Structure 1
Amino acid sequence: MPYLRPVPADQSAPHPGDDAARSAGARPVPGHDVRVQWVISLAVVVAGLLTIRPMGPTGRGLAVAALFVVNSAALLARRLPEHKVPPRIALGWLTLGVVAAAALIGLSSSGTGYLFAFFLAGHIGYRLETRQALVLAGFCSLLCGAVLYFRLGPGHEALPWVFGLATGAPVLIGIVNRSQRQAVRAAIDAAESAERAARAEALTAVLTERGRIARDVHDVLAHSLAGINMQLELADALIDTGDLEKVREAHAKAHSLVKESLKQAQWTVHALREDALPLRETLASMLASSGHRDVLTVTGTVRDVPAQAVQSLLRIAQEALTNAARHAPGGAVSMELAFTPESTVLRIRNRPATRPAVPGAGSGMGLIGMRERVALLGGTLTAGPVTEGPHLGDWQVEAVIPQ
């Protein structure tokens, strides 16, 4: 079994809704410190409050104060999470901010009002898609440049009109930052997807191993207990006949099955620990313990078989021998292990019963378990009566596991 890394309970897979939130910008991106952004935004607002003139309760001072408030709100709003602001609203708010910044440059006679235009242009590149960002930044440059070029307010005396054209340039910085943010998020999403895939693979491996252990438990407990139960029921039935010799024989067989069950339990423990059992020797031992000696035939060039294949072949042999004892008591059993260049083949055949079979309650999972074992190794399993050849009338189980 491959090594499985345990996954702590607090590292469960994220909820599907989390992906949508992350893709919409709800997750912070490394290198994008929100506190630094807040400090910069507040610094621009404070600098404008201290330097922009005129600012008062009447006339042009009132207009400048109103534009300053609008610019400050537009600048501080850039800290709103992207997933909470629809794209259309973001476009409208940034457009309003650009117009207010150009108007503030025109109406104010001094101060740092132009900083609002620069920082808004940078955020346009960060918040909007590239085409929209370039168009709105170009509009910002043309609007601020026109305000200064056509001398639409007293602010044109302090700043040259070319400076107004430069207000849209920071959009390029914003676009670069947005591209970096998307690249980081894509890398994080890829890492999380890989982690989820690894967890799913580990879970699949765990479930597969549980299935294997369930088959082993079934082979050891269900079959052995079914055989023991059959012998005890036979003994109970024979008590009424007064044939004590047959009763003792049934009890002796039950004791033998108990000993065999203990041995099979040891095989299962070895298998679960991935200890490689010798295939031929173990098959011969299984046949001997079931009362069939010198019936194992080995053909082809003997070679080492992978541990998982050995385990499956042993379990299939155990299942077949148990079924033969249950459904064909007294019938001769033969086993053939064939090594071919392409595969390893195990055949177990039993002759028809020579004495009545005692009904027993099986689990019904034996044949299913055998097929599952072989299928996991890419092989095939057939079970049924032989319809031709020297073994006509025998029941045969054949497992073919590719090399």
Structure 2
Amino acid sequence: MSEQESQKSRESRESRESRESAERPVPGQDPRVQWVATLAVIVVGALTIRPMGVTGQGLAVTALFVVNAASLLARRLPEHKVPPRLALGWLSLAVVAAAALIAVSDRGTSYLFAFFVAGHIGYRLPTRQALALAGACGLLCAAVLWLRPGYDGQTWMFGLVTAAPVLVGIVNRSQKQSVRSALAAAEAAERAARAEARTAVLTERGRIARDVHDVLAHSLAGINMQLELVDALIDTGDLERIREANGKAHSLVKESLKQAQWTVHALREDALPLVESLTAMVESSGHHDVLRVTGAVRDVPAKTAQNLLRIAQEALTNAARHAPGGVVAVELAFADASTTLVVRNGPAAREAPRPGGSGMGLIGMRERVALLAGTVTAGPVVEGPYAGGWQVEAVIPG
């Protein structure tokens, strides 16, 4: 999958998650309660609002009742499916219908529709629009009550009160937005945690790849060279050299098993004692009494020990491959602010076999040291007892 396709896939997934978040009920708001309240207003209105019929005033009341019931049921439409302008038009029509029902009916609970519409105006519309439309609702209801015959002079004030539920709606909308903002923040944090986990997995895969390279690439390359030599010597009938090459191949297999043990320790995150482990590694490579430790020996973090050991293993393997028989020196220096590993080898004492390897050794060293904010340098030795050889130096802070 290309990077562009991957980006589109992520954007599509995030859009789908946002849409699902908008459709998801807000905690603390049970849709069933709202449905019960809506149906209760409609049922009570059907039982109490009079007159209702199929002619004259009864027909007008029935038609307005149906319109008000429909506008009240429309409250349950998902917000993301109703454009803002459509919502404003629908609620404006609902205000007019509620005021008209109060005007044409003689008795009953027609005013409940105006109360519920005003409350939903506060919940559905922005604050300024909500206050303006709810104010219009209150004034309209007050006007129709003022103009109705048989009402005393104080009745119109009841019409003004129908606008009051808009405040409850605004509060509920603010709470809903706060809850959804908190949920969105939590989901964003969860996505960030997943991304961080993916990054950690990729980092760990890189570390395992380096360890596998250290064990397999070097060992198998050496074994392959010896087997190729055996294959070339078969035609010559030189049994002595065949046995020698075969013995070296067996030795490399044994060494590979030792290296595999080091890798298992590293992958298991075992805390290896640095000095003792480095001593055993150097001696197992065939060099004795070549490790020099300076400074006050102290425990270092497990990752530091593991990576220094892997760097030492890489350097010793390269020395054995490119400078067979050459002298080797290993130095481990403990300072107050850093730990330094230096591996030097002199020039080859005998002819080196044909070069092999993946070329990833130095890259792996640099990656290991970079993970610990350290530095690594590698290059030829130009002076001193190891002139003509090679040196690797890794410095880890802390």
Normalising by structure 2, report the TM-score: 0.91
Matched, 1:301 2:299: no
Question: Counterpart of 2:162 in 1: which secondary structure?
Answer: helix
Write out aligned runs for 1:142-181 (5 A).
142-149=139-146, 151=147, 153-154=148-149, 156=151, 160-181=155-176
Distance 1:238 1:296, change over 3 A: farther
User: RMSD of the alignment, in Å?
Assistant: 2.3
Q: Please tell me the residue identity of whatever aligns with 1:90.
A: A
Q: Describe the SS at the equivalent of 2:161.
A: helix
Matched, 1:45 2:45: no
Matched with 2:249 is 254
Tell me which of 17, 25, 30 is aligned to 1:28: 25
Number of equivalenced pairs: 389
* Structure 1 pair 241–355 and aligned structure 2 pair: CA distance change class (3 A): farther
Q: Residue 115 of structure 1 aligns to which amino acid in structure 2?
A: L
Whole-Å separation in 2 of the counterparts to 1:61 and 1:159: 27
From 319, 343, 356, give the equivalent of 1:361.
356
- What stretches of structure 2 of length at least 5 have no aligned partner? 1-10
Deviations along 1:330-365, one digit per CA (max 9) or x if unpaired, are 222211111111211111112222332222431222
Residue in 1 that maps onto 2:130: 133
CA distance in structure 1 between the partners assigned to 2:356 and 2:383 by the alignment? 31
Matched to 1:17, the amino acid is: S
Structure 1's unaligned 5+ residue stretches are: 1-12
Partners of 1:372 and 1:45 lie apart in 2 by 71
Contact 2:346 2:387 in 1 (8 A): no
Written as runs of structure 1 = structure 2, the 5 A alignment for 1:283-294 is 283-294=278-289
Letter in 1 for 2:72: L
Report the equivalent of 2:388: 393
Q: Once the 2 structures are TM-superposed, how far is the Cα of residue 158 of structure 1 from its aligned partner? A: 11
Q: 8 Å contact 1:108–1:155 — kept in the other structure?
A: no
Structure 1 residues 231 and 284: CA distance shift in structure 2, 3 A: farther
Does the 8 Å CA contact 1:226/1:360 hold for their aligned counterparts? no
Whole-angstrom CA distance in 2 between matches of 1:155 and 1:376: 87
Residue in 2 that maps onto 1:10: none
Q: CA deviation at 1:210?
A: 2.0
- In structure 1, the partner of 2:207 is 212
Distance 1:239 1:352 in 2: 31
Alpha carbons of structure 1 residues 213 and 325: separation in structure 2 relative to 1, 3 Å: same
Shift of the 110–138 alpha-carbon distance from structure 1 to 2, 3 Å rule, reads same
Amino acid at match of 1:203: R
DSSP-derived class of the 1:357 partner: coil
Question: In terms of mean alpha carbon deviation, does 68-77 or 249-258 score higher?
Answer: 249-258
Residue 91 of structure 1, aligned match among 88, 92, 112: 88
Q: Deviations over 1:34-81 (max 9, x none)?
A: 222122112111222222222222222222222112111111111111
Q: What do residues 173-229 of structure 1 show as CA deviations (whole Å, max 9, x unaligned)? A: 111111111122122222222222222222222222222222111111221111222
Q: What does residue 312 of structure 1 align with?
A: 307
**Cα distance between partner residues in 2 of 1:86 and 1:156:** 40
- Normalised TM-score (structure 1): 0.90
Identity %: 75
Are 2:145 and 2:151, in contact at CA under 8 Å, matched by a contact in 1?
yes
Q: Distance between the aligned counterparts of 1:236 and 1:288, measured in 2?
A: 31
